[in-house]
Structures are given as structure tokens and as C-alpha cells.
A = this chain, B = another copy of it.
Amino acid sequence: MISVEEQLKSMKQQMIAKGYKSTVQREATMRVLLEHERDHMSAEDVYMRVKERFPEIGLATVYRTLELLTDLHIVEKMNFGDGVARFDLRSEGHMHMHHHMICSICGEVEEIQDDWLTELEQRVQREYGFDVSDHRLDFIGTFSSCKHGDCRRHCETAS
């Protein structure tokens, strides 16, 4: 596992390599993303977290930073159907996006970090002549813990 500081450094390098500037606002935003790696935060969520440590930052800056990180393929802009975009860090060294399990009972989103689709991607290529560069796989259903009333949803990301 690579440390937050190292990941931050790597992100900054990617930014600079593409001709973008490294600013304190961008660093603060990236730090929040790294420290809430599996939280699937909305732009507003990120904004509020960044604001705690950098109160003068504007919402538009957070939006612009998230867009930039999306362009750099550092984060993935996702939509789970609740009207807000959510931002998900792409793990370093992983070619493809991780998978999700979304609980119909509590709404919790949990990740599957393996890539289970290599074979299916070859099949898509063979049968449809479609070259896969990335994928999105979400499972909708219920965790057995949630069915027994023991929901795993945390308050922090609840609306």
C-alpha cells in the first residue's frame, strides 16, 4: 500500500506533466479524496470537507479540480442514480475501474477491487469487434447483514 503523501506526489507530477499548475486548493482537494478513498463523495461532500481545512475555497474550484482529475483519469465521475455525480479514486496501477455492490436496503456502496471482466472483454472483442478500454460493473442487491437489520451504512456519507 502506497502512502497518502506518495500518492499526492504522484498526482501532482501527473498534473504538472500535462501543463497544469499545482495549487494549494488542488492539493487540499486531492488530500480529501485520498483520505476518503472509499466514500463515493459528491462534489458538495468534497467541498465541505476541504472547507474545514481551507475555508476560503470556492465551490467552483472544487468542481473544476474534480473535472481536471477526471480528465487525468485519477478519479472516476460516477452516477449511482441519486441526481448527484460522485467521485471515486481510481487505484494506482489498476488499468480498469473496480466493481461495486450497491445495497437496495441502505444504499451503501461497497467495492470489489479485483478485475473480474478480462474474459468477458475478450468475448466482446471477438463477438462484436469492440475494443474495451474500460468498464463499469455494478451489482444491485442486498448484503446479508442488512437483511438482518444490521446495516453497514455509516452516518458520514448518509444524506
Contacts and interface: CB of A to CB of B under 8 A. Distances in A.
A133 B142 CA distance: 8
Q: What secondary structure prevails in chain A residues at the interface with B?
A: strand
B129 A123 contact: no
Interface string A91-111: 000000000010110000010
Given A81-B77, A135-B140, A137-B136, A128 B116 contact: no
Query: Copy number of this protein in the oligomer?
Result: 2
A130 interface: yes
Given A124-B139, A134-B140, 16 more contacts: A77-B81, A79-B79, A79-B81, A101-B128, A128-B143, A129-B143, A129-B144, A129-B145, A131-B141, A131-B142, A135-B137, A135-B138, A135-B140, A136-B137, A137-B137, A137-B138
